[in-house]
Amino acid sequence: MSIPITKPFFGPEELRAVQQPLESGWVVQGPFVKQFEEQFAAFVGARHAAATSSCTTALHIAVAALGLKPGDEVIVPAFTWVSTANVVEYMGARPVFCDVDLATFNVAVGQLAAQVTPRTVGIVPVHLFGLCADVQPILDLAARHGLWVIEDAACAFGAWYGGRHAGTFGDAGCFSFHPRKSITTGEGGMITAARADLDALARSLRDHGASRSDLARHQGKASFLLSEYNHLGYNFRMTDLQGALGCAQMQRAAWILAERARRAQRYDALLADLDWLATPVVPAGSVHGYQAYVCLFRPEEPTLANVERLHAWRNELMARLEERGIATRQGTHAPVIQGYYAVKYGLRPEQFPNAYIADRLSLALPLYAQMTDAEQDFVCASLREALRA
């Protein structure tokens, strides 16, 4: 048996969808991207949604649109994909890392206030693996200090907090459609925004700073005249091939999310007796989107003193699963220990103990909508055997 960490769900509808732009000849950002944006906005309950080439470019546009500049500081979690911090660096600003909560892998909200300085302009909470960060105290802190909030909702399609979908709390929300995510367009991203002016600026910035899109220009009068370019923009557009794929994926999004949640709950039940594996928690009032099913390997209470030994043990376990054809992964990584940040800012793991422990001991299990009971049973049985071995 070969069990990947995840796989996208594509059917004849996706195949037909990507044929349509090929047949029409309009393959760059166009009618299908527009339709995908509308479907996505309706699903998450966002006033505006603008598609991009990835979540990283969505985040980059969001920080640019909010005016991030050299000398500014932005608070980001210490355990997240590196691009959450990279987009702050791209603008010449400084990411200030905050440690995370080991139970949820999300930012430790109790430690946020201590990171605020006179230079702080914003906070980027990450809804890691599909579980919303504890949004309300973050919004309260931001309001007290006049900070903007960009939700890194890369993993948060299908994630709800207090009855509202991720990406509808902050000034902007940024989603990913990379194939590791629940719905995919190959590469792709989306920026949600409540304010029309921010949405308009984001749309302009993704398109070289143009005053109107190619589609609007081609469909309107005087299409022979180029747009005006009043902003320093980028080419961060989604193609219509991806947009069409996104529309087809949206048609089955509810089913994909429901199946992933059902599989996750089945894992919860099958693994409940393993005291050495902490399975994902879902705080009251949250709906987990289960972009990934990420556990913490904890045969002992993890500390900085025993983490390297436990890390070697976890890797041994993962290698045994790999031998059986089962793919596992660490949940994500801690940017604070990656060379660029560790060297530039002189960061040490001891400053972010939970992020470091999460980096070393997290363990994502295979999860996809079309997973079978037999595959899942095999993963669980193999986990038990691997630990015994």
CA atoms of 21 and 265, how far apart (whole Å)? 39
Pairing of strands 164-165, 160-161: antiparallel
CB of 25 to ligand PLP, least distance (A): 27
Would you state the structure tokens that stand for residue 119, as one six-digit string? 């230079």
* Interaction between residue 289 and ligand PLP (CB under 6 A): no
Q: Is 181 a catalytic residue?
A: yes
* Interaction between residue 246 and ligand PLP (CB under 6 A): no
CA atoms of 106 and 159, how far apart (whole Å)? 13
Pairing of strands 48-52, 189-193: antiparallel
Within 158-177, the residues that bind ligand PLP by CB under 6 A are 176
Q: Which of 214, 241, 247 lies closest to 53, judged by CA?
A: 241
Nearer to ligand PLP, 61 or 361 (CB): 61
Give the count of beta carbons closer than 10 Å to the beta carbon of residue 131: 28
Q: Using CB under 6 A, which of the segments 92-100, 148-156, 164-172, 267-275 binds ligand PLP?
A: 148-156
* Interaction between residue 236 and ligand PLP (CB under 6 A): no
Q: Using CB under 6 A, which of the segments 22-30, 152-160, 265-273, 379-387 binds ligand PLP?
A: 152-160
CB of 79 to ligand PLP, least distance (A): 9
* Interaction between residue 154 and ligand PLP (CB under 6 A): yes
CB of 188 to ligand PLP, least distance (A): 7
> HEC states along 150-204?
EEECCCCCCCEECCEECCCCCCEEEEECCCCCCCCCCCCEEEEECCHHHHHHHHH
Within 186-225, the residues that bind ligand PLP by CB under 6 A are 189
Taking CB under 6 A as the criterion, the residue among 29, 80, 328, 382 binding ligand PLP is 80
* Sequence-ordered strand ranges (E) for 249-360: 277-278, 286-287, 293-297
CA atoms of 205 and 209, how far apart (whole Å)? 4
Active site residues: 181
The contact set with ligand PLP (CB under 6 A) reads 54-56, 80-81, 83-84, 126, 152, 154-155, 176, 178, 189, 332
